[in-house]
Amino acid sequence: MGTVRKTITLTDQQHAWVKARIDGGGYANDSELIRDLIRREQERTVSVESIRQALIEGENGGEPQEFDPEGFKLRMAEHRPTPAADAT
């Protein structure tokens, strides 16, 4: 994967925050931290978009139906593995 050199401007407060993360041993340098922040934001964006799509599907899914919490609990219990099955 190719790389591109960028110059960024930070406030004193942002610079101190970045320096503290590097000095804390979490990152080797500024670039490593910035790349990690970008990766996290990319993952968050994908997650938010999938939630947004699920909400749209739900809104377009027809008329709401009454929720039966006890029936839901029973159905969930039917699909729950038994403790003996977990031990294998």
- Could you read off the pLDDT of 32-84 as tens digits, one per residue? 999 999 999 999 999 999 999 999 999 998 888 899 999 999 999 998 877 76
Computed over every residue of the chain, the mean pLDDT equals 91
**CA distances from residue 11 to 14, 28, 40, 55 in whole angstroms, order as listed:** 5, 21, 21, 37
Judge if pTM exceeds 0.85: no
**CA distances from residue 81 to 49, 68, 74, 84, 87 in whole angstroms, order as listed:** 32, 22, 13, 8, 10
- Asked if the model's pLDDT at residue 85 lies above 70, the reply is no
